[in-house]
Structure 1
């Protein structure tokens, strides 16, 4: 994710971002991901300020966090997270992780880049590695009220993209929640494996 306007929107709202309550479905899905991985190395892709990374560390996982917003990386590092500045294109590892966690991050990637990112994540996972994907449901690509770039998908599109990249979907949860911009949006949480 290299969209400067999106990065700027997050840079000025780190404290606000940390105050957003997670919907129950997301709390449950995060725990399900940690349990499915069990032990080993995970990549928190688009890690934000590192809240999920810190949770996984408490669950005994070794976490590498990657985010394109310097202020988020700095906050995560200050809280003991192995956080790195980078974009989705910096996922170049092969067979490196037991799990990849992409919670509402890949929705900032242009639709045309999504298959490339899915393929890179699949390569980065060890065989049978666990992949969590959280996205907003909808259609099209546009900016929200905070000037963040979003790509929206239907459940059918997400399932097709995952299958094309070689993933097997284990479970799907949908729900509604309020994000940083204050809008009440539908979301989808997918747990899959390579």
Structure 2
């Protein structure tokens, strides 16, 4: 994410975002966390205030949490055991190949421009070890738009998203759909997928 207006929203409303979503039950978190090997190396991509990163660190995993928002990184870095740093999706290409056991990207890559999305998926695939886990959450729809707060979103249909994941060598293990009101208040449909990088 490099859109300055989107980053500005997260910088100015980080505390509100953290309070809104802290401690909310999430079956996708349970599925991802339980499928990781012991002492896994995990990237929380677009970590926000670091709730998931903290959970993974508490479970004994080595966690790197990244976000384009400096204020979100500050909040994430307050959790014990979480290494938090400011970075954009374009920095994914600097990760060492086959260095990660898992990547958690929960409603973060929806801020990536469409013309960069496949490249980001490819970088994630490169950084994961064979058999590594990749969770992705996205809002579903079509085209691109800004929400009432000014954040930039790119939408995909479930069919389009699964095809793009398949093209990068991800096997879909679990898939969930729903609709929920986000920070801007609008109820929007979403999809989450737990995938595994294939050996091929």
Query: How many pairs are equivalent?
Result: 193
| Residue 180 (structure 2) aligns with | 177
CA RMSD of aligned residues (A): 1.4
| Residue 146 (structure 1) aligns with | 149
Give the 3-state SS of the residue equivalent to 2:156 in structure 1: coil
| Residue 128 (structure 2) aligns with | 125
| Residue 84 (structure 1) aligns with | 85
Task: Compute the TM-score of the two structures, normalised by the length of structure 2.
Answer: 0.93
Task: Compute the TM-score of the two structures, normalised by the length of structure 1.
Answer: 0.95
| Distance 1:13-1:64 versus aligned 2 partners, 3 A rule | same
* Unmatched 5+ stretches in structure 2: none
| Distance 1:29-1:23 versus aligned 2 partners, 3 A rule | farther
- Structure 1's consecutive aligned runs of 4 or more residues displaced over 4 angstroms after TM superposition are none
Tell me if the contact between 2:44 and 2:105 (Cα under 8 Å) persists in the aligned partners: yes
Of 118-127 and 54-63, more deviation after overlay is shown by: 54-63
Q: How does 1:6-155 map to 2 (within 5 A)?
A: 6-21=6-21, 27-39=26-38, 40-80=40-80, 81-91=82-92, 92-93=94-95, 94-155=97-158
Looking at structure 2, the residues matched to 151 and 125 of structure 1 have their Cα atoms a distance apart, in angstroms, of 24
**1:188 and 2:187 aligned:** no
Instruction: Give 1:77 deviation, angstroms.
Output: 1.2
Tell me if the contact between 1:17 and 1:180 (Cα under 8 Å) persists in the aligned partners: yes
Instruction: Give 1:56 deviation, angstroms.
Output: 1.1
Instruction: Give 1:60 deviation, angstroms.
Output: 2.1
Looking at structure 2, the residues matched to 95 and 122 of structure 1 have their Cα atoms a distance apart, in angstroms, of 8
Looking at structure 1, the residues matched to 180 and 52 of structure 2 have their Cα atoms a distance apart, in angstroms, of 17
